[in-house]
Amino acid sequence: MTKNTLKLAAAGLMLAALANVSVRAAPDEHPAVKRAVDLPPSADLGYSISARQRGFSLNGDATLTWRLNDNKYTINTESRVAMLGKLTENRSEGTVDSFGLAPSTFYEKRFRKAPETATFDRDARTITFTDGKHSYPIKGGEQDRVSISWQLMAVARAAKDKFKPGSEWEFFVVGPRNADPWTFRVVGREKIQAGAAIGTVEAVHVVRDLPPDTKDQTLDLWLAPSLDWYPVKLRFTDNDRDFVEQTLERITRK
C-alpha cells in the first residue's frame, strides 16, 4: 500500500501540479504570448480522488484555495490518502500583470521529500530553482504547474468565442527543477457527473498535447462555464494507463 501510495503522490494529485512529469530542458528563447484574461472569483474547491496504480485502487481527497485580491493571488493545494495522510502540498503566489497571473514563487512538497521552490525574480527578470541547476529569462506570461490551470481558465473566460474544439493554447510552464512549453488543445463540450452537491454539468474538455517522443504524463481538464470555469474533473494518465482522477465535490465562493 505504501509503495503504491507514494506512486500516487508522485503522479501529481493537485490541480495543474504535475509532480511526476519528466521535463526536458527548454530553450531560453521561449515566446512571450499576451492574451486577454478574466480571472475567476476567489473560492475553496474540494475534490474526491480515485486512482489505479499498478493494479491497486486508491482513494482520497484534495483541497484547493484560490484567492485574488488587489492584483495579488495565492493558490494552495493539498492531497490526502487514507492511512498516510497528507501526500502533496503545492503553492503558487504572485501578482497579476498585463499577461495575467505573474508568479513570484512556486512551492512543491511531496511525501517524504524535501520541499522544492522555483523563484520568479521580477527585478532581475530571471527564474531560478532550489537546486541551482537551471535558470530561465522572464519574458512575460510564464506560469508554474499550479498557476497554469488558473491562467488557462482566465484565458477561456476572456475568449469564449475562440476557446472552441481544435483550438490550441501554448504556455511556458515552470516546475520545481526545470521548465518547458505546454500545449493545450480544446476537445469539445461534454456532460460530467460531479459530486452530489453539484450534479451533472456541461464542461469544456481540454487536454495537454504531448510531443510523440515524450513519456510525459497526460493531463485532461474539464472546465465548467456555468461554474465560473472551475475544473469539475481532472485526470492524469501515465504511459502504462495508470491514472489519478479528481472530481469536484464542493465549491465555496469567497
Is the pLDDT at 225 greater than 50? The verdict is yes
Q: Report the alpha-carbon distance of residue 180 to residue 249 in Å, rounded.
A: 32
Q: Report the alpha-carbon distance of residue 4 to residue 26 in Å, rounded.
A: 31
Specify if 62 maps to a domain.
yes
Specify if 26 maps to a domain.
no
Q: Report the alpha-carbon distance of residue 150 to residue 86 in Å, rounded.
A: 23
CATH for 81: 2.50.20
Structural domain boundaries enclosing 85? 2-20+39-253
Specify if 232 maps to a domain.
yes
Specify if 192 maps to a domain.
yes
Specify if 32 maps to a domain.
no
Rg of the chain (C-alpha set) = 17
Specify if 29 maps to a domain.
no
Q: Report the alpha-carbon distance of residue 104 to residue 96 in Å, rounded.
A: 10
51-87 confidence digits (pLDDT tens)? 776 667 778 999 999 999 999 999 999 988 777 677 7
Specify if 170 maps to a domain.
yes
Q: Mean pLDDT of all residues in the chain?
A: 86
172-221 confidence digits (pLDDT tens)? 999 999 998 999 999 999 999 999 999 999 999 999 988 777 766 788 99
Question: Domain count of the chain?
Answer: 1
Specify if 77 maps to a domain.
yes
Q: Report the alpha-carbon distance of residue 33 to residue 38 in Å, rounded.
A: 16
